[in-house]
Structure 1
């Protein structure tokens, strides 16, 4: 039976704005308060989805969330009609209104952690929505995320869904941005690689001093238990606290893996040699041949990696066994990064080709190609059980492009977030989107 890695990309929402909400994310903070272009952002994301589909890769789409989140503002004490809630929040607590308008759900690498059926005890694909409790504007995402994933992967014979972990610091969970899976074939048993920034209960593990470590060891272990993973099929590794303090807020900003290959920066991890040996040994037990590509700090600094998002790329397997790397334009603009990539591909090694995409709107808010996609390994039977409305096709691309052109603004500033009309625009757009994607009622305004 054939198996696939399907990339489900997040569709950028109508309230895409530069609120500067993510402390520890250099791009998010440096572009704070600039005017954004939601229409351009959504079209850039859709263009990447279609390009990958046209290259022969399985591609899906994951819907955005309702914003502003009026229900979240009501829980914080704002009352009245929806328009009055927005007006009061704008007058009394503008930062909360900005947070409630965040379109950060576009970065669906943080939506959930996914384990394929070949790895799990009950032979189903398991999803655990990430609690994202390190940042308020992201902590409000997981209820809708769970409903959307449930509507996409509804067949209980093939798919299992778990609620987010307890929303406390000890179980901070950022989803697939700190999770990679290595395997010989997507439908065969593999090794799941969980990267954490700190331990909540064991002080033997060092912690960063400047920026928060968002993923805990305990959260990763809990997800592995929920998914029924075998101990011999799991490797835990600690992210280097020093690189977190340099703006590497998730592992996918400093490393990316796929198939049997890990592409990583020299300074990404603690105890790197031990971790690589464990990955190699465990993958070998299930018939795999683990390989790694280390980018030396002498060629690309951590600062280069953070500013270019070299590692926040998509590493894709091609039929001939070689790898394709999908990178943002910022990599081409960085002389050291681009020089390294040219030497990498000309060497005839594992990574043979680099393709560049314009994702400026997302990049300026702190998310690159890897942030925009959630990877789900599926066999043919499981893929057939996925809601067909969310699988990218040429007609769906056309429908979504027309939908964006119809509903999205081409400029959004902080002042615009105070306009109650924006909420009506968002709800009208999302109501139509659920029909296009055949999701049913997944948003609070559709349910309540």
Structure 2
């Protein structure tokens, strides 16, 4: 069941959740970033209570679960999602120096659980540049040889400060050795980017068996979903189109086709 809809249970999901571990199959450390009521132009959309409820309902080990208060300046700069100022993979955390309210305390607590933790901070990048360039709206992945690659939107390459930070990260002593630039503007303009897909939580055979197979992506299901999009999704929607009954009829048809694939 979803969390109750109330101010004290504001939950933005994986956008404010990071999992770190010595390796992907090893027991991990879960870090939940959250805000609190401090005023300002932007609401702090992740509550600590919601994160605690998620951790409790998921059965996470309390001794390996941390709650990190977001930096108020970062939230007011537009980073109410922590994935706009930090990205984690295995034993590496790439973060803006102003991502968290008390980074020294957080990193010390993380190192107690993960001694081989690499914290890589991007000094020289303002919060405004971090938000506008989508530098952290990226995926950090482990390559077959053990090195890591940062897969990031092309917006980051076009921002001088952000790209300079990427080059500094690649030249520094840490596992991140490659930067892969991808044009995902179409996805970003529709409200999503690489960060929306990056939380990876390993599950064993018993846990996997408990997942509804309708929500497991297979090559066959991906092909079927792609066919639905190609067949029913319009290339563009102009404001005046919203007044057209035909558009709404098409949307209902597309929804029915999507449900048919998911239910299959």
TM-score, normalised by the number of residues in structure 1: 0.54
Q: 1:165 to 1:184 in 2, by over 3 A?
A: same
Q: 1:411 to 1:391 in 2, by over 3 A?
A: same
Task: State the match for 2:167 in structure 1.
Answer: 342
> Following TM superposition, by how much is the alpha carbon of 1:341 offset from its aligned partner in structure 2, in angstroms?
1.3
Report the secondary structure of 2:195's partner residue: coil
> Following TM superposition, by how much is the alpha carbon of 1:336 offset from its aligned partner in structure 2, in angstroms?
1.7
Is the counterpart of residue 254 in structure 1 residue 85 in structure 2?
Answer: yes
> Following TM superposition, by how much is the alpha carbon of 1:365 offset from its aligned partner in structure 2, in angstroms?
4.8
- 1:321-344 alpha-carbon deviations (Å, 9 max, x no partner): 221111111111112212221232
> Following TM superposition, by how much is the alpha carbon of 1:354 offset from its aligned partner in structure 2, in angstroms?
1.3
Q: 1:265 to 1:410 in 2, by over 3 A?
A: same
Task: State the match for 1:169 in structure 2.
Answer: 7
Equivalent position to 2:20, from 171, 179, 182: 182
Q: Distance in 2 between matches of 1:324 and 1:381?
A: 31
Is the counterpart of residue 293 in structure 1 residue 124 in structure 2?
Answer: no
Matches within 5 A, 1:3-402: 163-198=1-36, 207-284=38-115, 289-296=116-123, 299-347=124-172, 349-379=174-204, 382=207, 387=213, 390-393=216-219, 396-402=221-227
Pairwise CA RMSD: 2.3
Q: Distance in 1 between matches of 2:121 and 2:16?
A: 18
Q: Which runs of 5+ in 1 are unaligned?
A: 1-162, 200-206, 442-448
> Following TM superposition, by how much is the alpha carbon of 1:313 offset from its aligned partner in structure 2, in angstroms?
0.7
Contact 1:187–1:379 under 8 Å retained in 2: no
Q: Distance in 1 between matches of 2:138 and 2:203?
A: 21
Q: Distance in 2 between matches of 1:238 and 1:401?
A: 39
Q: Distance in 2 between matches of 1:375 and 1:405?
A: 28
Q: Distance in 1 between matches of 2:16 and 2:153?
A: 20
> Following TM superposition, by how much is the alpha carbon of 1:388 offset from its aligned partner in structure 2, in angstroms?
7.0
> Following TM superposition, by how much is the alpha carbon of 1:374 offset from its aligned partner in structure 2, in angstroms?
4.9
- 1:20-71 alpha-carbon deviations (Å, 9 max, x no partner): xxxxxxxxxxxxxxxxxxxxxxxxxxxxxxxxxxxxxxxxxxxxxxxxxxxx
Q: Distance in 1 between matches of 2:152 and 2:90?
A: 18
Q: 1:374 to 1:432 in 2, by over 3 A?
A: farther
Q: 1:228 to 1:388 in 2, by over 3 A?
A: closer
Task: State the match for 1:440 in structure 2.
Answer: 263
Report the secondary structure of 2:151's partner residue: strand
- 1:304-331 alpha-carbon deviations (Å, 9 max, x no partner): 1101111111111223222111111111
Contact 1:172–1:216 under 8 Å retained in 2: yes
Report the secondary structure of 2:19's partner residue: strand
With a CA cutoff of 8 Å and minimum separation of 6, indicate the structure with the bigger relative contact order: 1
> Following TM superposition, by how much is the alpha carbon of 1:218 offset from its aligned partner in structure 2, in angstroms?
1.6
Contact 2:16–2:34 under 8 Å retained in 1: yes
* 4+ residue runs over 6 A deviation: none
- 1:73-132 alpha-carbon deviations (Å, 9 max, x no partner): xxxxxxxxxxxxxxxxxxxxxxxxxxxxxxxxxxxxxxxxxxxxxxxxxxxxxxxxxxxx
Q: Which runs of 5+ in 2 are unaligned?
A: none
> Following TM superposition, by how much is the alpha carbon of 1:208 offset from its aligned partner in structure 2, in angstroms?
4.5
> Following TM superposition, by how much is the alpha carbon of 1:382 offset from its aligned partner in structure 2, in angstroms?
4.9
Is the counterpart of residue 419 in structure 1 residue 244 in structure 2?
Answer: yes
- 1:407-436 alpha-carbon deviations (Å, 9 max, x no partner): 111111222223232232223223323343
Report the secondary structure of 2:200's partner residue: strand
Report the secondary structure of 1:377's partner residue: coil
TM-score, normalised by the number of residues in structure 2: 0.89
Q: Number of paired residues?
A: 263
Report the secondary structure of 2:177's partner residue: strand
